[in-house]
Amino acid sequence: MLLDVKDLHVSYGAIRALRGISCQIREGEIVALIGANGAGKSTTLRTISGLIRPKSGEITYQGQSLIKMPPHQIVNLGISQVPEGRRVFTRMTVMENLEMGAYTRKDKAKVKEDIKKIFQRFPRLEERKNQLAGTLSGGEQQMLAMGRALMSKPKLLLLDEPSMGLAPMLVQEIFAIIKEINQAGTTILLVEQNAHMALSISNRAYVLETGEVVLSGDAQELANNPEVKKAYLGE
């Protein structure tokens, strides 16, 4: 098991955001977390990446506990997050953003090689490599946020709402890229409001409601589940 989350409880003051969430991710999978706004999806990702401390529960990655580990050490272990809302460094160029993604790495020659690979995957970023990130379109910023996360050479990529605010054509493109990244060997945990798209590319999925897992299983089976269709797929 690459990542094992067991009985995770997180509170913001008096508000219980996560109420005993458990989920597992095997190497090579795309696993989706779907659910309405406020279900606890982003909180789950932020807790895995060390940005939020849980009240109780356990998170193990390749058998190692992440619970008391600071975020930069979690990145060093091979977990990288693409945050909701992209959060690129707007006053830095595209190139500088990508270099920031590799800040934990010492292998400078390999970093240059990996930037080339990012440009092959995202040709638009190469065209705009000297442009300030704040001047990019929403779709380009999403590509940059993904490229920046990949620069840390993650084994596990946490994607938080990658399609948010994007035009339908771009959503298709971003999801095609997510599949490519996975096929190239990166395991993905995907949080996504667009349940239809998320289930279409995932191996398995968990359905969250008010901080709890209410359904889980094979992504295609969940896509055909009448409850999921009604609640999340608008069918």
pLDDT tens column, 191-204: 998 999 999 999 99
What percent of the chain clears pLDDT 70, i.e. is strictly above it? 100
What was the pLDDT predicted at 192? 92
Domain boundaries, the chain: 3-232
Q: Per CATH, which fold does 3-232 belong to?
A: Rossmann fold (3.40.50)
- Per-residue CA distances from 222 to 3, 49, 56, 80, 204 (Å): 21, 27, 29, 27, 9
Six-digit token pair at 49?
A: 């990446």
For residue 86, pLDDT beyond 90: no
The answer to whether the beta carbons of residues 151 and 81 sit under 8 Å apart is no
Phi/psi of residue 156, each to 5°? -125, 120
- Per-residue pLDDT, averaged over 42-49, amounts to 96
- Percent of the chain at pLDDT > 90 equals 83
129-168 pLDDT, tens digit per residue, is 999 999 999 889 999 999 999 999 999 999 999 998 888 8
Strand intervals (E) in the chain:
3-12, 15-25, 30-34, 56-61, 64-65, 79-82, 156-160, 187-191, 204-209, 212-218
Tell me the pLDDT band of 235, cut-offs 50, 70 and 90. low
Residue 67 has pLDDT above 70, yes or no: yes
What integer pLDDT is reported at residue 233 of this predicted model? 83
End-to-end CA, the chain: 34
Task: Give residue 85's pLDDT.
Answer: 77
Given pLDDT bands bounded at 50, 70 and 90, which one contains residue 126?
very high
The first and second tokens of residue 58, run together, are: 């356990």
